């Protein structure tokens, strides 16, 4: 079973608003500083260590990047260390988030 599942930004926003998930931003520091989603934890893919992904059972883990490609890759890496839960990839990344009118911190 694929343990990295794509979700849309509307689902991600609902989960975050309801405190059902944590958001991990895998973009680089300079990208994060330009704009990021409030509350996102920065774990750049270039330095990605799956052991830094919180081992939590009571919340969903959402990976996010600019468009969804790097975050999916990070999700696969995190899954490969045998996490017993599904990791979600926010399809479209921060571009889709902003295009949906959701706030970003600049």
Contact 52, 43 (CB under 8 A): yes
- Given the residues 16, 61, 65, 96, select the one marked as catalytic: 65
Between CA 26 and CA 98 the distance in angstroms is 17
**24, β-bridge pairs:** 41, 63
Q: Is 65 a catalytic residue?
A: yes
**Catalytic positions:** 65
């Amino acid at each position: 079973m694929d343990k990295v599942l794509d979700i849309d930004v509307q689902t991600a926003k609902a989960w975050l608003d309801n405190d059902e998930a944590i958001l991990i931003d895998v973009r680089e520091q300079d990208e994060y500083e330009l704009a990021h989603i409030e509350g996102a934890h920065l774990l750049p893919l270039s330095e990605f260590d799956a052991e830094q992904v919180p081992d939590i059972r009571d919340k969903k883990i959402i990976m996010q990047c600019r468009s969804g490609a790097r975050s999916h890759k990070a999700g696969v890496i995190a899954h490969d260390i045998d996490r017993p839960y599904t990791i979600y990839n926010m399809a479209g990344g921060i571009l889709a988030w902003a295009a949906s009118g959701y706030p970003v911190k600049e």
